[in-house]
């Protein structure tokens, strides 16, 4: 009797676990490269009139009402690291140091936000050096992926 009960419980357990798969739908996506040069960055001042962060806006008409409400926007920072091209998903935190004095370190935080028709990239240097304005981010390449 115990063996029969064990077989019935095992059979019920095996048939209770099922996986359901939705039918495959092809993913739609748009990939856009945004290049920000040193003169494109705008300083966002803090209360002392020092730039607290830098930002750069790009017009992206592909982010329309439909995509804003039903899709998603993902952004990456693309750069060269040790002679290889890499992409970091945003937001990201990048440790930095002065090439002439490695004891001088800070953190660069890169983030983005978007609205219908626009995307804004922001760079904040978290060096806690309030006596001087942060360094302009210079040239940066961003990759924007819109998925729906």
Note the pLDDT tens digit of each residue in 19-67: 455 555 667 999 999 999 999 999 886 666 665 789 999 999 999 999 9
Beta bridge partners of 118: 59, 115
Q: How far apart are CA 105 and CA 107, in angstroms?
A: 7
Note the pLDDT tens digit of each residue in 113-147: 999 999 999 998 876 555 566 678 999 999 999 99
pLDDT of residue 46: 62
pLDDT of residue 4: 57
Residue with more model confidence, 144 or 9: 144
How is 56-113 classified by DSSP, letter by letter? EEEE-TTS-HHHHHH-EEEEEEEEEETTEEEEEESSEEEEEE-SS-TT-EEEEEEEEE
Residues 118/51, Cβ–Cβ less than 8 Å: no
Average of pLDDT values for 105-112? 91
pLDDT of residue 126: 77
């Amino acid at each position: 009797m115990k063996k029969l009960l064990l077989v019935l419980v095992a059979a019920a357990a095996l048939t209770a676990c099922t996986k359901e798969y939705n039918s495959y739908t092809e993913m739609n996506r748009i990939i856009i490269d945004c290049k920000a040069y040193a003169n494109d960055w705008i300083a966002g001042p803090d209360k002392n009139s020092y730039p607290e962060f830098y930002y750069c806006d790009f017009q992206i008409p592909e982010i329309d009402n439909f995509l804003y409400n039903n899709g998603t926007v993902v952004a990456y920072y693309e750069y060269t690291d040790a002679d290889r091209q890499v992409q970091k998903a945003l937001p990201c935190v990048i440790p930095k140091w002065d090439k002439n004095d490695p004891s001088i370190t800070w953190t660069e935080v890169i983030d983005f936000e978007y609205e219908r028709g626009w995307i804004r990239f922001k760079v904040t240097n978290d060096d806690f050096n309030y006596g001087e304005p942060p360094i302009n981010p210079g040239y940066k390449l961003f990759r924007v992926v819109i998925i729906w």
